[in-house]
Amino acid sequence: MRASPTVFAPDKKPWYLRTWAISVAVVIALAIVVISDYPRAANKADRASVYAALQTEIWGDVQSCNASLNDTIIAVGEILSHQSTDTVTANEIATTNEPNCNPSGSSDLLDLASINVPNLLVNYKIKTIVFDLDNWAFPNAAAIINDLKGLLAHPNSASLRADILQRQQLMDKLASESQAMMDANSHTLGVPTKQLKLISVKDYPAAILG
């Protein structure tokens, strides 16, 4: 004999069988998602706190490449200006520094490229800042380090100098745009801005760019 189906009184049904309870549960779940994901749900203090930490992370991720480029400029500049004759050490410095501007050799640049922008900051151009600084480092800064290394072997190469100048001018533009966006975000959110202070054309000695 088949068992009779369970019959519940209208007001005794389990919560999961009550239409109104299911509807309320769905509404609550959707509300939680909206509050946590919708960028305008957070207040200014929340956005400021998250942005300050993210800005520091972005700044830190590009500094290793920046220092490596600076060190290579100094080392090669001293050779080309005849302040030093130690080309072996200058070559080693360039060789060691290039990976710091390449995602395949730099954990900092990998971190920069993989930054996940929180939903509450989607309107602050973080992805554009990251994209510009990624391009500042690679391929451009990495290529300049290789060009500088090339000048050790070919100190009179006009093509290497032209490539260095062209890439550095592009890098200056990327850095300037990134800094402007960071400054605007900091002003809007009321937090101190991080100054990138990246290498620019003016940092090259005459022996390199003439």
Query: Positive or negative CA dihedral for 86, 89, 92, 96?
Result: negative
Q: How much of the chain exceeds pLDDT 90, in percent?
A: 80
Mind listing the pLDDT tens digit for each residue in 108-158? 999 999 999 999 999 999 999 999 999 999 999 999 999 999 999 999 999
Q: How much of the chain exceeds pLDDT 70, in percent?
A: 80
Whether the pLDDT of residue 4 is over 50: the answer is no
Query: How many helices and strands, by DSSP H and E, does the chain display?
Result: 8, 0
The mean per-residue pLDDT over the stretch 23-46 comes to 53
Q: Measured between alpha carbons, how far apart are the two ends of the chain, in Å?
A: 101
pTM, whole model, 2 decimals?
0.80
Query: Mean pLDDT in the chain?
Result: 86
Mind listing the pLDDT tens digit for each residue in 152-161? 999 999 999 9
- How high is the pLDDT of residue 41? 61
- How high is the pLDDT of residue 42? 74
Is-contact 200 66, C-beta < 8 A? no
Give the span between the Cα atoms of 134 and 103, in whole angstroms.
9
Q: Minimal CA–CA distance to 101: which of 71, 57, 62?
A: 62
Domain residue ranges in the chain: 44-209
Whether the pLDDT of residue 180 is over 90: the answer is yes
- How high is the pLDDT of residue 210? 80
